[in-house]
Amino acid sequence: MGNLKTKELTQIGYADNKQRSLAVNMIAKHFKHYSKAEMIGLLTGIRQQPDTYLSNELTGKIAETFISKTNKRAAVSYELKDRHAPLSIFGEENIEPPAIKQMELALKLPVSLRGALMPDAHSGYGLPIGGVLAVKNAVIPYGVGMDIGCRMALSIIDVDERYLKRYAYQIKQAINDHTHFGIDGGLSTSQYHEVLDSPVFNQTALLKKLHGKAVKQLGSSGSGNHFVEFGLIELYEDNTLNLPPAQYMALLSHSGSRGLGANIARHYTQIAIDTCKLPREAQPLAWLDLDTEPGQEYWLSMNLAGDYAKACHDRIHTNLLKALGLKALTKVENHHNFAWKDTLSDCTEAIIHRKGATPAHHGELGIIPGSMATPAYLVMGKGHDDALNSASHGAGRAMSRKEARENITGSAMKKMLADAGVTLIGGSLDENPSAYKNIEMVLAAQQQLIEVQGKFYPRIVRMDKE
């Protein structure tokens, strides 16, 4: 470290012990050949322009401390309302009481306007999974969730069951070669999508830092209930896709915004919790005012994460269809874990959070999956006002992951899959079909919200093996 003293570090703006310690270690390890003037110049540059040094692995940690300091804002305390705002519940008889209590708590926030609970609902962190919450001019990071813009994508392909049976081996090979599952890593072949060139990546220090991870993980899938599967879809008469009613092969994928979304969620949740003080039981529902800089940054980042999740599905579908020499007749997509600007039926402008709920405006198409061994449904929204134009995003969990592991053996799960005609690549006991609610029951509870257009049966499924 030469003769650069604590007092001198303090004079150039290294005011706390953490910053001084990081500076001492960095200089000693990587810049000990610098003169005293060069050391001071480097450290001053990091303090004055931390954004510039954030992506460098040597200087990034120090730069982060200055960015977090400049982002500190005064905290404001809020009280909850005595009574919760209006709540509509669909399929209440099959929703656990704690999930309903969570939703009622969220509707006591001073910014809350209305809420709805979908029939696949179960408890989550902050807002329950299956919760839809309309608020005024604010966004709740945990009302969106960790996996921002988690998405379903369905490609209907111009072949039928004969192709699936004849080329099952090649399909499995393609899934193995062109998908990647797990929290870390990405595909072995470099991927490209125009989203990587988005100027939004340069608009905040956090997004600049996350660009490299986004490049690496493009076209890959996460863990948990994320999947890529080939199967057969039965399209019904008079479907809005204008395809002949028949059975087609289809490719269905479910995953989100990977490390990009998770890091955005963590970063802005912390800012929300630091600046929006609520009673302890409601603190995970801390919000960002959209008129503030952090609120605008989160909104920008959330939308980029949504675009990135779509790009991952684009690469998955393009890569697999190309590898198999197939062509999609059409593609249907929808996403959840997101917030949208919308207008309520009374003309109030609102931000609608759908955490594990599917947008279902009138005529809007979506996909509601069951499990690895039960059907998924292609649906069209009916635009139901009480549901805030929403529907369920799946069957919904009936068991926690721990319960799911304890309630079935590997051999019992294999038999369940064999009986359903499903081949599983990877997968875990956490995701066994009995861990989910009955998809038919969940569909029946929302007949007023959606109209079924087709039924998809999984045949070759890949998931993360945890």
Q: What's the confidence (pLDDT) of residue 466?
A: 66
pLDDT, tens digit (0-9, with 9 covering 90-100), for 299-349: 999 999 999 999 999 999 999 999 999 999 999 999 999 999 999 999 999
Q: What's the confidence (pLDDT) of residue 309?
A: 98
Give the amino acid at 123. Answer: S
pLDDT, tens digit (0-9, with 9 covering 90-100), for 64-106: 888 755 455 678 999 999 999 999 999 999 999 999 999 999 9
pLDDT at 33 over 90: no
Radius of gyration over alpha carbons of the chain, in Å? Answer: 24
Q: pTM for this structure?
A: 0.84
Euclidean distance between the first and final Cα of the chain, in Å?
Answer: 45
Tokens of 271: 């800012």
**d(Cα 386, Cα 356) in Å, to the nearest integer?**
17
Q: What's the confidence (pLDDT) of residue 97?
A: 96
**d(Cα 202, Cα 208) in Å, to the nearest integer?**
5
State the Cα angle at 194 between 191 and 199, rounded to 5°: 125
